[in-house]
Amino acid sequence: MTNTQYSVTGMTCGHCVASVREEVTKLAGVESVEVDLQSGLLSIASSRELSDDDVIAAVDEAGYEAAPL
């Protein structure tokens, strides 16, 4: 199991959080996704190494910007 963290900017409400969770959860190998609205911390547990580009694209799909930590 791999755990990776990203900083997400632009989220302002619970719906934003839900959108990010939904998109990131679609990525292959993702087991669990935690998003903290206050800090913008996105934490992903996955069964394989994720590509930063894939995660960034998924968060972009939700309408927000992610940066690897």
Residues that bind ligand 9UX (CB under 6 A): 12-13, 15-16
CB of 55 to ligand 9UX, least distance (A): 19
Helical residues (DSSP H) of 1-69, grouped into ranges: 14-25, 52-62
Tell me if 55 sits within 8 A of 66, measured CB to CB: yes
Least separation in angstroms between residue 47's CB and ligand 9UX is 29
**Residue closer to ligand 9UX, measured from CB, 13 or 28:** 13
Closest to ligand 9UX by CB, 22 vs 52, is: 22
Using CA of residue 61, residue 29, residue 22, residue 9, what is the dihedral sign? Answer: negative
